[in-house]
Amino acid sequence: MIPGGTLPVDSAAPRAFDDPIYVTRPLLPDLQAYVEELQGIWDRRWLTNKGQVHDAFEQALCAYLRISHLSLVSSGTTALMLALRACELSGEVITTALTSPATVNAIRWCGLTPVFADVDPVFLTLDPTAVERAVTPQTAAILGVHVYGMPCDVEALQAIADRHGLRLIYDGAHAFGTAIGGVPVLEFGDATTLSFHATKLFSTAEGGAVAVRDAELKRRIDLLKNLGIQDEATVVLPGINGRMNELTAALGLAGLKLVEAERGRREAIANVYREGLRGIEGLECLDIPPLVRNSQQYFVVRLQAGVHSRDDLWEQLKTFNVFARRYFHPLCSNMLFYRKLPSANPANLLVASRATQEVLCLPLYGNLPLQDATRICEIVRHILRA
């Protein structure tokens, strides 16, 4: 179809869904299982500040994610701010523009200057060559994003960080359970942040965590998220309140038992999409490299500009009650408050600028029936006349 064109009314059109199909739906434990977790909290009357459920959830997550240290926090954004603060940085942080505003805003909130580097044309994560080019004497850290659960080129980024003496932090908001060759992606870099927002594969409504390899860094993050309070008489750091409360932790503990099955159901839906969309000219599904275990956070298609209009497909899907999302559009570098940065120049971000016009996340959540995924493929084919 012609980019920007409209489709005439067609009697052979697939039927619209009766109820809205959203890009995602949260995974919720059985209400009774949650109530059971809550009973102990009511009995103990202990609601926050490193309670018993908080500590149990922290341990359960470390075991599930196969890592040694993790600090629970109140959101993925707080996790980013705490990770950056704990690394005691000043100056510039190299990052991607193809991400949630949370990533870049966290850099700003820490008084640091974001420097945008372009992304890889296939995987859409930071391009190490572009990162290397962006390093200056002011560079303090690299903040890579495992966007759509696709791992960054962790070896190349670590080599750059080592060569220039930089800290390496990852935003793993989409990468819960992502692994490379069997190694959890959280094992790479100095720290990786997670988000447990309602729209994430694993959710506690709001919440997040910072995974670290170094016990001392965890100790600093634990202090920073608790206003820097060491004990009743001693405040050792200018911290914030980034704590996770007991009710939230209880939701996490109950939900953690379900996440593996949820990921499996999402993988099956992703396979239906791949099959159902195969062979459409100008439409590509984001490829997952053979050694990568993807989190199944999003199912991303790319609509080749000049062949199809992504925005037209996005709009037309709504008329069928399908609410796909253009994550991430606009690019962070196009936002008013970052636009003036020299690195925000579109000429510096050619690949990301193209990707932001082409990507579309189709509905992906465990409760989406496989036949609905098949129907979405038929609707996409109908709209694209493929």
Query: Nearer Cβ to ligand T4K, position 70 or 280?
Result: 70
| 173 neighbors 55 (Cβ within 8 angstroms) | no
Q: Reading across the β-sheet that carries 299-303, which strands appear in turn? A: 283-285, 299-303, 359-362
Closest residue to ligand T4K, judged by C-beta, is: 76
Which contiguous run of DSSP H or E holds residue 271? helix 259-276
Q: Pick the closer one to ligand T4K by CB: 198 or 341.
A: 198
Q: Least distance from C-beta 24 to ligand T4K, angstroms? A: 5
> Which of 142, 280 has the CB closer to ligand T4K?
142
Q: Are 295 and 174 in contact (CB under 8 A)?
A: yes
- The continuous run of DSSP H or E covering 42 comes out as helix 31-44
Token pair, residue 146, equals 């495992």
For 107, residues 6+ apart whose C-beta sits below 8 A from its C-beta are 80, 84, 93, 95, 113, 114, 143
**Phi and psi for 221 in degrees, rounded to 5?**
-65, -40
In whole angstroms, what separates CA 312 from the centre of its chain?
A: 25
Q: In whole angstroms, how close is the CB of 5 to ligand T4K at the nearest point?
A: 26
Q: Which is nearer to ligand T4K, 29 or 280 (CB)?
A: 29
- Hey, what are 96's tokens? 């991607």
Least Cβ distance, residue 30 to ligand T4K (angstroms): 18
Helix (H, G, I), strand (E, B) or coil at 145: strand
Distance CA 173, CA 169 (A): 12
Q: Which residue has tokens 């993925």?
A: 76
Cβ(332)–Cβ(97) below 8 Å: yes
Q: In terms of residues, how long is the chain?
A: 386
Least spacing, CB of residue 76 vs ligand T4K, in Å:
2
Closer residue to ligand T4K, CB minimum distance, 77 or 357: 77
Q: Provide, rounded to whole angstroms, the least separation between the CB of residue 75 and ligand T4K.
A: 4
Q: What's the closest the beta carbon of residue 74 comes to ligand T4K, in angstroms? A: 8
Q: Which is nearer to ligand T4K, 209 or 280 (CB)?
A: 209
Binding site for ligand T4K (CB under 6 A): 22-26, 75-77, 99-100, 102-103, 145, 171, 173-174, 195, 197-199, 208, 323, 325, 327
Least separation in angstroms between residue 79's CB and ligand T4K is 8
| Complex with ligand T4K: residue 26 or 282, whichever CB lies closer | 26
